Amino acid sequence: MIPAWKIYPSSQRRSTVYLKNVVKNPFIEVGDYTVYDDFVNDPRDFERNNVLYHYPECNHDRLRIGRFCSIACGAKFIFNAANHAMDSLSTYTFPLFFEEWDLPTDTASIAETWDSRGDIVVGNDVWIGYEAIILAGVTIGDGAIIGSRALVTKDVPPYTIVGGLPAKPIRKRFDEETIARLEALRWWDWDREKIKRSIDAIRHGDIDALEKNA
């Protein structure tokens, strides 16, 4: 586990942060060692700049990101308040402007402004590319890769590379047997020392050696 005071994984670089230690919103959960890099804005402002239309006081929707993820500059997570209600005769957000139209002011009534599709869940060891967009209700499996500027509207299976507008599967990173072995190992949940001993096996794709360290 990384200490709460440690923001930067590298003393030579201030564009990359440990995301867990810069977000404050209790409705955003981030696992250890997940990093966000931003060469345009201060990466410590991830919550304000990258998690958009997120009003958990109305929706109780959450952003859940696992361990050892890599999130590139400009990646956005678009939440439910961006989804204007489509079962109405108008997409205009009347409930949001309750003062103007003398409508109820409780949060449940205000939330009728938009269609709710649920949480955004990102697994472990996921790489999200430059300026990719992840929409509400999407779950991204462990080990997946999201291409640059992809628009992710549907769930992404584990260890799958997706890209495009909207994002579609390009290929699996490994064969199904290897994926199953990796999912069973869950190396990202190991303690720090065990992971350190296994870095060579992880980096060089030696799953047999990784299993020996399990």
Which residues are identified as catalytic?
Answer: 84
Tokens, residue 185: 């190992």
Map residue 114 onto helix, strand or coil. strand
Query: Do residues 147 and 131 make contact, with C-beta atoms less than 8 angstroms apart?
Result: no
Helix H or strand E segment including 179: helix 176-185
CA gap 140, 123 in Å, rounded: 6
- For 73-103, letters b (16+ CB in 10 Å) and e give bbbbbbbbbebebeeeeeeeeebbeeeeeee
Tokens, residue 115: 């269609």
CB atoms within 10 A of CB 179: 19
What is the bridge-based pairing of β-strands 127-128 and 145-146?
Answer: parallel
